[in-house]
């Protein structure tokens, strides 16, 4: 099973992914964790370019193709082999991020973005995508504080440095895109405590499992 987690900055994706990993392992599953950008060796180098605050001059088209390159490499070198081995793959961001950030956020055509992602993923879309939703102002403060605490304010702060209006567009983009793809995307309110959010996600996972068993 291939499950991805999406949302604006500061929704708590990393915390929830760890909890979901423990949940699936309690069911006897082997779980593989990964992320975008940076899930492969090549992707690690691309992540440095994409997230460093000094790279504010990256154009929207350049940004798009760097993300697509990261994804294509990630699929073939990491995700597909893990799925072939029978692992549950949990991925922090995937193709929906590109459609939302570069489409709703940067203003690129979402239809074209979907087509380009079809090429990059090579037929491998998630079985389920969980979108964690939170007020952008709260999420942005969380993410900025996290980067400072981790010593990554420069290395991984390019999107956190965007104006609040950008993050508002991203949130609305996720909600719109999830509504258009409700067959595989579920929105979960991430404003509660981590344990409460986890229970909501677990309910989504159990419902999905019951439909596919």
List pLDDT tens digits, range 94-113: 999 999 999 999 999 999 99
User: Is residue 47 a contact partner of residue 38, using CB atoms and an 8 Å limit?
Assistant: yes
Q: List the structure tokens of 11.
A: 């929704």
Question: What average pLDDT does range 147-158 have in this prediction?
Answer: 78
Structure tokens at 53: 């605050």
Instruction: Give residue for tokens 């010593």.
Output: 151
* Percentage of the chain exceeding pLDDT 70: 99
- Quote the pLDDT of residue 212: 67
* pLDDT at 112 (0 to 100): 97
Give the model's pLDDT for residue 213: 61
How many whole angstroms separate alpha carbon 177 and alpha carbon 102? 13
* Host H or E run for residue 23: helix 13-26
What is the pLDDT averaged over residues 5-20?
95
Per-residue confidence (pLDDT) for residue 135, from 0 to 100? 95
In the predicted structure, residue 127 carries a pLDDT above the cut 80: yes
Q: Domains of the chain by range and CATH?
A: 2-208 (3.40.50.300)
Does this model's pTM top 0.85? My answer is yes
Residues 51-74: tens digit of each pLDDT: 998 998 999 999 999 999 999 999
Angle between helices 60-74 and 110-121 in degrees, nearest 10: 30
| Token representation of residue 130 | 């969980």
Asked if pLDDT for residue 153 goes beyond 80, the answer is no
Number of residues assigned to the chain: 213
């Amino acid at each position: 099973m291939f499950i991805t987690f999406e949302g604006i900055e500061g929704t708590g994706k990393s915390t929830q992914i760890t909890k979901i990993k423990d949940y699936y392992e309690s069911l006897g599953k082997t779980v593989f964790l990964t992320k975008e950008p940076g899930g492969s060796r090549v992707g690690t180098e691309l992540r440095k370019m994409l997230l460093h605050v000094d790279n504010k001059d990256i154009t929207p088209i350049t940004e798009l193709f760097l993300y697509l390159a990261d994804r294509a490499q990630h699929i073939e070198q990491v995700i597909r082999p893990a799925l072939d081995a029978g692992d549950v793959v949990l991925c922090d961001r995937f193709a929906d991020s590109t459609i939302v950030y570069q489409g709703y956020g940067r203003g690129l055509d979402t239809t074209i973005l979907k087509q380009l992602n079809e090429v990059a993923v090579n037929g491998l879309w998630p079985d389920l995508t969980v979108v964690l939703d939170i007020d952008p102002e709260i999420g942005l403060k969380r993410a900025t504080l996290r980067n400072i605490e981790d010593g990554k304010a420069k290395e991984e702060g390019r999107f956190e440095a965007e104006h609040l209006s950008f993050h508002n567009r991203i949130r609305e983009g996720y909600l719109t895109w999830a509504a258009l793809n409700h067959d595989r995307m579920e929105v979960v309110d991430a404003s509660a405590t981590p344990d409460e959010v986890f229970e909501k996600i677990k309910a989504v996972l159990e419902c999905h499992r019951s439909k596919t068993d």
